[in-house]
Amino acid sequence: MKRSRFISMLLLLAALLLAGGASFAQMGEVADPVPYPEGVMIGDNPIVRFNLDELLVYQALDSYSEPAWVTELVEAGELPPVEERLPDNPQVILESGMSTGLGDYGGQWRDFSGAPTEGWNFCARQSQGWYGINYIYGESLLKSGPTFLRKDALEPLPNLATDWEWSEDGYELTMNIIRGAKWSDGHAFGVHDIMFTWEHVIQDDNVDSWTTASTWSIGGEPITLEAVDDDTILWTFPVAFPVQQLFNMTFRLFNICAEHVYAPMHPAFNEESDYDTFKTFQVQDALPVPTMGPWVAVDYQIDEFMVHRRNPYYWKVDETGKQLPYLDEVTFEKGPDGTGRTLGTMAGSIDHSNLENPSTYVETITRSQEDDAHFSIEWSSELLAFVLQFNLSATLGVEDERDQALRDLFRDLRFRRAVQHALDGDGIGQAVIRGPFLRAFPGGITPGSPYFDIDSVVYYPYSPDSARALLAELGFEDTDGDGILNWTDGPLAGDNLVIVLNTSVAAAETNTIGEAAVLLLQEVGVQVNLRPLQGPAMDDAIVSGRWEMRVNRTGQEFTASFTRCNELAPLTTTTPAWHRADAGERDLMGFEVELIEIVEEFCLEPDFEARKALMSRYITLFTENVYNGGGVIGRYGLALAKRFNNIPVGAPPFFYQWTWGNVIPEAVWVNPDEQMEQIFPGTVPVYDEM
Complete DSSP assignment for 272-308: T--HHHHHHSS-TTS-----SSSEEEEEEETTTEEEE
171 and 157 Cβ atoms separated by less than 8 Å: no
157 and 52 Cβ atoms separated by less than 8 Å: yes
442 and 420 Cβ atoms separated by less than 8 Å: yes
Most distant CA pair in the chain, distance: 91
Both 193 and 268 in one domain: the answer is yes
| CATH code for position 391 | 3.10.105.10
Complete DSSP assignment for 547-561: -SEEEEE--GGGTSG
Report yes or no on 685 lying in a domain.
Answer: no
Both 40 and 95 in one domain: the answer is no
Both 26 and 84 in one domain: the answer is no
Both 166 and 249 in one domain: the answer is yes
- End-to-end Cα, the chain, rounded Å: 64
Tell me, what's the pLDDT at 689? Answer: 61
Nearest to 140 by CA among 677, 674, 656: 656
Per-chain mean pLDDT for the chain: 91
Tell me, what's the pLDDT at 54? Answer: 97
pTM: 0.81
Both 137 and 196 in one domain: the answer is yes
Report yes or no on 362 lying in a domain.
Answer: no
To the nearest whole percent, how much of the chain has pLDDT over 90? 76
DSSP structure class, residue 245: G
d(CA 253, CA 294): 19
Tell me, what's the pLDDT at 16? Answer: 34
Tell me, what's the pLDDT at 642? Answer: 96
Structural domain count of the chain: 2
Worst-scoring range by mean pLDDT, 201-205, 289-293, 485-489, 686-690? 686-690
Identify the burial level of 587 via C-beta atoms within 10 angstroms of its C-beta, where 0-12 means exposed, 13-18 middle and 19 or more buried: middle
Is 292 a residue whose pLDDT tops 90? yes
643 and 93 Cβ atoms separated by less than 8 Å: no
Tell me, what's the pLDDT at 539? Answer: 84
Other beta carbons within 10 Å of 337: 9
Report yes or no on 680 lying in a domain.
Answer: no
| Stronger pLDDT, 508 or 419, i.e. the higher one | 419
334 and 304 Cβ atoms separated by less than 8 Å: yes
- 506-564: pLDDT as tens digits: 777 899 999 999 999 999 999 999 999 887 788 889 989 999 999 999 988 999 898 88
Name the helix (H) or strand (E) containing 318. Answer: strand 316-318
Tell me, what's the pLDDT at 321? Answer: 98
d(CA 169, CA 352): 46
Per the DSSP assignment, residues forming a β-bridge with 145 are none
Both 341 and 424 in one domain: the answer is no
Report yes or no on 374 lying in a domain.
Answer: no
Report yes or no on 498 lying in a domain.
Answer: yes
For 27-179, list the strands marked E by DSSP. Answer: 56-58, 91-93, 108-113, 142-143, 157-158, 161-166, 172-177
Report yes or no on 679 lying in a domain.
Answer: no
Q: Angle, nearest 10°, between helix axes 425-432 and 508-523?
A: 140
How does residue 20 score in pLDDT terms, banded at 50, 70 and 90? very low
Report yes or no on 310 lying in a domain.
Answer: yes
Tell me, what's the pLDDT at 211? Answer: 83
d(CA 199, CA 214): 13
3-class DSSP string for 329-357? EEEEEECCCCHHHHHHHHHCCCCEEEECC
556 and 506 Cβ atoms separated by less than 8 Å: no
Distances (CA, A) of 333 to 117, 250, 308, 342: 12, 27, 12, 12
Is 24 a residue whose pLDDT tops 70? no
Tell me, what's the pLDDT at 26? Answer: 45
Residue 417 identity: R
Enclosing domain of residue 419: 3-44+381-635
Tell me, what's the pLDDT at 451? Answer: 94
Q: Is the peptide bond prior to 288 cis by the omega test (within 30 degrees of 0)?
A: yes
Average pLDDT over residues 627-652: 92
353 and 342 Cβ atoms separated by less than 8 Å: yes
- 389-412: pLDDT as tens digits: 999 999 999 999 999 999 999 999
Distances (CA, A) of 339 to 113, 335, 360, 386, 432: 10, 8, 10, 21, 19
| CATH code for position 168 | 3.40.190.10
DSSP structure class, residue 507: -
Q: Where are the alpha helices (DSSP H) in 481-545?
A: 508-523, 535-544
Q: Is the peptide bond prior to 156 cis by the omega test (within 30 degrees of 0)?
A: no
568 and 541 Cβ atoms separated by less than 8 Å: no
CA dihedral 170, 172, 173, 175 (to 10 degrees): -160
Nearest to 686 by CA among 289, 293, 138, 119: 289
Report yes or no on 56 lying in a domain.
Answer: no
Nearest to 446 by CA among 385, 390, 386, 387: 385
Both 446 and 551 in one domain: the answer is yes
Both 466 and 483 in one domain: the answer is yes
Residue 288 identity: P
| CA 237 to chain CA mean position, Å | 27
d(CA 104, CA 10): 51
Nearest to 109 by CA among 353, 332, 341, 296: 332
Is 665 a residue whose pLDDT tops 70? yes
d(CA 431, CA 510): 12
Tell me, what's the pLDDT at 6? Answer: 45
173 and 237 Cβ atoms separated by less than 8 Å: yes
Both 646 and 629 in one domain: the answer is no
Q: Mapping DSSP to helix (H, G, I), strand (E, B) and coil, where does residue 218 land? A: strand
Both 512 and 491 in one domain: the answer is yes
Worst-scoring range by mean pLDDT, 38-42, 231-235, 454-458, 605-609? 38-42
Q: 69: left (phi > 0), else alpha (psi -120 to 50), else beta?
A: alpha
Q: What backbone torsions phi and psi does residue 89 show, to the nearest 5 degrees? A: -130, 75
CA dihedral 314, 317, 323, 329 (to 10 degrees): -60
Average pLDDT over residues 373-382: 90
Tell me, what's the pLDDT at 606? Answer: 84
Per the DSSP assignment, residues forming a β-bridge with 158 are 142
Both 630 and 648 in one domain: the answer is no
Distances (CA, A) of 14 to 32, 388, 429: 20, 20, 11
Q: What backbone torsions phi and psi does residue 122 show, to the nearest 5 degrees? A: -65, -25
Nearest to 639 by CA among 334, 234, 264, 348: 348
Whole-number CA gyration radius for the chain: 27
> Strands 498-504, 527-533: parallel, antiparallel or unpaired by DSSP?
parallel
Both 145 and 218 in one domain: the answer is yes
Other beta carbons within 10 Å of 104: 14
| CA 293 to chain CA mean position, Å | 21
Worst-scoring range by mean pLDDT, 307-316, 378-387, 454-463, 585-594? 378-387
Tell me, what's the pLDDT at 614? Answer: 97
- 339-361: pLDDT as tens digits: 889 899 999 999 999 988 888 88
Worst-scoring range by mean pLDDT, 65-74, 265-274, 428-437? 428-437
To the nearest whole percent, how much of the chain has pLDDT over 70? 95
Average pLDDT over residues 362-378: 92
164 and 678 Cβ atoms separated by less than 8 Å: no
- 145-197: pLDDT as tens digits: 999 999 998 899 999 999 999 999 999 999 999 999 999 999 999 999 999 99
Distances (CA, A) of 413 to 44, 94, 403, 407, 473: 40, 53, 18, 12, 12
